[in-house]
Structure 1
Amino acid sequence: AEGEVLPIEQELADSLHVGRNALREAVKVLSGKGLIQTAPRSGTWVRHRDDWNLLDPDVLRWHADPNVATRKFMLDLLEMRRIIEPKAAELAAVRASRKEVGDILSAYEEMSVEGISQAQRIEANIRFHAAILKASHNTVLNHFRFAIAAYLKAHAARGLKVSAADDRADLERHRLIAMAIATGKAKSAYSLSVEMLRLNRSHFEEQL
């Protein structure tokens, strides 16, 4: 829990059934991600959640685990997507290279393959959104691909039901976004992304 002081090194190692060297390495990793803090004579304690590096890929993955992900965390991720992705799509429509457009279209084509498994669909969807972020040519926006991947995987892991009609409509929205970017229609890419994510949130809230 936040603020909790961890046991001394040997006690913690014994309770976790690991060696002290392995424990020290783990503490170093968790400290680097902002989850815990160590100080001489004060020991090691769990930092406040506000101090955690929530954009770290590992921390995102841990939080998005369906066994621990809260409804609020999922909605926070979705809100972040609604802030970031429409602008990234707008920029991509202006800045994308021919290869980057090809990557976006290729990811969409993979998503739309009939009979594709859910796991393959998710990975293709992640590639689609990551390709758009990359095509924005903004290195900071590009880093948000980890957060989007975490959301998409966690969303799928929750097993939320999607009708065949809704699934086809979702694919069509992805196609329209891809084509807007490919044809340099920045305003359309932005507005289509806004609408897709609005519907995504609506569907998420209906089932939770």
Structure 2
Amino acid sequence: MIKNVHGNTVDLLGEAIVSGRYAVGGSIPSESMLCEELGVSRTVVRESVKSLVAKGLIVTGPKVGTRVLTEDQWNWFDPDVITWQAKAGFTPEFVRDLQDLRRVVEPAAVRLAAVRATADDIAAIEAAYAGMKHAIEKGGDYVTFDLRFHQGLLHAAQNRMLVQMSKALNALLRTSFEISTAKKDGPKSSLPLHRAVLDAVIARDPARAEKAILILIDGAHKDIEQVLGSRRRLPRLSRPARPIKVT
């Protein structure tokens, strides 16, 4: 999606804050300095600052100026904040926060999906599964279809708040899928686990669906902890997903 001048300015300032260019508790540059640095009008800068205030990144006022807030005050359910963190690089603490969130949210969502999923929901998840299977057998973009599979499950819960929460979870899902894809036979070994989740949803069996998704989540958790423990660099989500190559 192509953003306008305001959207681009919000992105530039947001990325600068999340990456630590502007220190917590410190001031961001003045309006005039930002206008000159970014080549935009005062109106654009003011509207961008308002957007960042709404996202919890900064506070502004006559006595405090415009200052960067601590991370615990940022809106971590805002897709832009997640995207900026992804570009800056995930910290182990951030990834573990998301892992905890996933273990709380996704099993509950899958239980609901097993009760509420429509025929269209099932068809969308089946199509995503078919894309994963094709990528394993013929090569291609496995990660995108894996994301669609899990997004389909959350959508099938028929809960608007869970759908919004999935935007935050996407960052963790993409990270864990990238790590899984990099492991030898990782996607191939996880495919039947995905099938077990889908079959349980189709069978309208909430308990079985929850048990199956927990097996998937715990496997992903183990993979990520191995990467964090080895201090290898986590995947950068600003890059395209790594395709599977069939030899």
Flag the 1:140–1:17 CA change in 2: closer, same or farther, 3 A.
same
Whether 1:147 and 2:168 are equivalent positions in the alignment is yes
Look up the match of 2:9. Answer: none
Cα shift readout 1:167-205 (whole Å, capped 9, x = no counterpart):
212111111101110111111100111111111111111
SS at match of 1:112: helix
Aligned equivalents of 2:114, 2:54: Cα separation in 1: 37
Aligned to 1:60: 82
Partners of 1:156 and 1:196 in 2: how far apart?
11
Aligned to 2:171, the other structure's residue is in SS state helix
Matched residue, 2:111: 90
Which residue number corresponds to residue 221 of structure 2?
201
Distance 1:72 1:44 in 2: 27
**Structure 1 gaps, min length 5:** none
Letter in 2 for 1:103: A
Q: Counterparts in 2 of 1:169-184, with a 5 A limit?
A: 169-184=189-204
Normalising by the residue count of structure 2, what TM-score does the alignment of the two structures yield? 0.76
Take 1:196 and 1:175, find their aligned partners in 2: how far apart are those partners? 11
In the TM superposition, what whole-angstrom CA distance separates every residue of 1:143-176 from its partner, at most 9, and x where no partner exists?
A: 1221222123344567973111x32121111111
Aligned equivalents of 1:173, 1:102: Cα separation in 2? 18
Q: Partners in 1 of 2:183 and 2:43 — Cα distance?
A: 47
Aligned-partner SS, 1:75: helix
Counterparts of 2:180 and 2:206, CA distance in 1: 34
1:30 is matched with: 52
Unpaired runs of 5+ in structure 2?
Answer: 1-22, 229-247
**Counterpart Cα distance in 2 of 1:199 and 1:154:** 13
Aligned residue in 1 for 2:6: none
Q: 1:116 to 1:27 in 2, by over 3 A?
A: farther
State how far apart, in whole Å, the 2-side matches of 1:41 and 1:198 are. 48
What does the per-residue CA deviation read over 1:102-137, in whole Å, with 9 as the maximum and x for residues that have no partner? 1111111111112342xx322211111111111111
Q: Which amino acid aligns with 2:214?
A: V
Distance across 2 between alignment mates of 1:161 and 1:56: 28
TM-score if structure 1 supplies the norm length? 0.89
What's 2:183 paired with?
A: 162
Q: What corresponds to 1:115 in structure 2?
A: 138
Aligned partners of 2:181 and 2:187 also within 8 Å: no
Secondary structure class of the residue paired with 1:38: strand
1:127 corresponds, among 141, 144, 148, to 148
1:45 aligns with 2:40: no
* Structure 1 residue 56 displacement after superposition: 0.5
Between the aligned partners of 2:163 and 2:105, the Cα distance in structure 1 is 10
The residue correspondences of 1:62-81 to structure 2 (distance < 5 A) are 62-65=84-87, 67-81=88-102
Please give the root-mean-square deviation of Cα atoms over the aligned residues, in Å. Answer: 2.0
Task: Say which of 174, 182, 186 aligns to 2:206.
Answer: 186
- In 2 relative to 1, CA 156–196 (structure 1 residues): closer, same or farther, beyond 3 Å? closer
CA displacement at 1:16 relative to structure 2: 4.0
Structure 2 match to 1:138? 159
Q: Secondary structure at the match of 1:53?
A: coil
One-letter amino acid matched to 2:49: V
Q: Is the 8 A contact 2:143 2:178 kept in 1?
A: no
| Identity in percent | 33
